[in-house]
A and B are shown apart, each in its own frame.
Chain A
Amino acid sequence: SQQGEEDPQALSIQEGENATMNCSYKTSINNLQWYRQNSGRGLVHLILIRSNEREKHSGRLRVTLDTSKKSSSLLITASRAADTASYFCATDGSNYQLIWGAGTKLIIKP
Chain B
Amino acid sequence: NAGVMQNPRHLVRRRGQEARLRCSPMKGHSHVYWYRQLPEEGLKFMVYLQKENIIDESGMPKERFSAEFPKEGPSILRIQQVVRGDSAAYFCASSPSTSSPEQYFGPGTRLTVT
Q: Point out residues on A near B: beta carbons under 8 Å.
A: 2, 4, 30-31, 33, 35, 40-45, 48, 88, 90, 92-103
The contact size tier of chain B is 20 to 34
Asked whether A92 lies within 8 Å of B106 as measured between CB atoms, the reply is: no
A44 lies within 8 A of B105 (CB): yes
Q: Are A92 and B101 within 8 A (Cβ)?
A: yes
Q: How many A-B residue pairs have CB under 8 A?
A: 63
State the majority secondary structure of interface residues on B: strand
Q: Specify the chain B residue showing the minimal Cβ separation from A102.
A: B42
Residues in chain B within 8 A of chain A (CB atoms): 4, 31, 33, 35, 40-45, 48, 55-56, 59, 91, 93, 95, 98, 101-108, 110
Task: Give the residue of B56, B95, B101, B106 whose beta carbon is less than 8 angstroms from that of A42.
Answer: B106
Question: Complex: how many Å from CA A4 to CA B41?
Answer: 12
Q: Which residue from chain B places its CB closest to the CB of A30 in the assembled complex?
A: B101
Contacts beyond the supplied A98-B93, A100-B35: 19 A-B pairs with Cβ under 8 Å: A2-B42, A30-B101, A31-B101, A33-B101, A41-B108, A42-B4, A42-B91, A42-B105, A43-B91, A43-B105, A45-B104, A48-B102, A88-B42, A90-B43, A92-B101, A93-B45, A97-B56, A97-B59, A100-B42
